[in-house]
Amino acid sequence: MQHAPLNINFLGTGTSSGVPMIGCHCHVCQSKDPKDNRLRSSILVSSKTTRFVIDTTPDFRYQMLRSNTQHLDAIVFTHPHKDHIAGLDDIRAFNHFSQKPINIYAGANTEEAIRRDFYYAFTETRYPGVPDLNIIGIDHHRFMVGDIQVQPIHVAHHKMPVLGFRMGDFTYITDANYIEPAEQEKIKGSKVLVINALRKQKHLSHFSLSEAIALANDLGIPKVYLTHISHQMGTHTAVSDELPANISLAYDGLQISL
């Protein structure tokens, strides 16, 4: 299948606490380098005719304003943790200007959390101005968002199932510390992989820096960006100097095309 050319805008590249972290005085949180200021992890995926975000973080409103996003066709969710769904209420602005519901694509565990946390959007008698959402369930099967084909990739975030996504030659995986061999096969052949790397030390539910690098090397991906980064990782400049030539730290506002 011919894939639509894509533009990827990194709306946020930080872990659940963001960087700087509230109340922290470490050298990373006090850094003056803009690349060390990280909102919660999300990307904006665009083709010539389609635009959607992966996840609505607690920073969603600011991310939309900062990226000057005027229109969204859909939202695609990875999993139900609050740092990935908490900003969904602010989709109301897009509903207001488009005068129609927005499609949101979610696995069963995320749909359950959205219906629970944003219950007021699903009641029979809805208060005026609440989010207008059309939930579309996703599992293992490919689906289309406009002209963009999306292949779900099932990964493990400790004991929680999480969805990564491949769109043409681009794969995006956040909040993972294990990927089964069969799911890894879906990633192979990508030209660009975005993978979470929380910090240098091992973690219960996220890939560490060395684990993310090892996985990327095993998969043979020519260009890799690391995301979902904590202040424990170190500064963007210091860590970048340690990385292989084909692996980079992503940062807020980074844009790539493929």
Q: What percent of the chain has pLDDT over 90?
A: 96
169-213 confidence digits (pLDDT tens)? 999 999 999 999 999 999 999 999 999 999 999 999 999 999 999
- Per-residue confidence (pLDDT) for residue 2, from 0 to 100: 60
The answer, yes or no, to whether residue 9 has pLDDT greater than 70, is yes
Residue 155 pLDDT class (50, 70, 90 cuts)? very high
- Per-residue confidence (pLDDT) for residue 151, from 0 to 100: 98
What is the rounded average pLDDT for all residues in the chain? 96
| Helix boundaries (H) for the chain | 60-66, 82-85, 92-98, 108-117, 181-187, 209-219, 236-240
DSSP state of 19: B
- Per-residue confidence (pLDDT) for residue 29, from 0 to 100: 98
The answer, yes or no, to whether residue 118 has pLDDT greater than 60, is yes
- Per-residue confidence (pLDDT) for residue 74, from 0 to 100: 98
pTM of the shown model:
0.96
- Per-residue confidence (pLDDT) for residue 127, from 0 to 100: 87
Q: Which tokens sit at 38?
A: 């990280």
The answer, yes or no, to whether residue 20 has pLDDT greater than 60, is yes
Determine the 3-state secondary structure of 114 from DSSP: helix
Domains present along the chain, CATH in parentheses? 7-257 (3.60.15.10)
How far, in Å, CA of 75 to CA of 124, rounded? 23
The answer, yes or no, to whether residue 1 has pLDDT greater than 60, is no
Q: What is the mean pLDDT of residues 107-120?
A: 97
The CA radius of gyration of the chain, in Å to the nearest whole number, is 18
- Per-residue confidence (pLDDT) for residue 14, from 0 to 100: 98
- Per-residue confidence (pLDDT) for residue 204, from 0 to 100: 94
How far, in Å, CA of 76 to CA of 247, rounded? 25
Residue 4 pLDDT class (50, 70, 90 cuts)? confident
Q: What is the mean pLDDT of residues 61-87?
A: 97
- Per-residue confidence (pLDDT) for residue 19, from 0 to 100: 98
How far, in Å, CA of 160 to CA of 197, rounded? 17
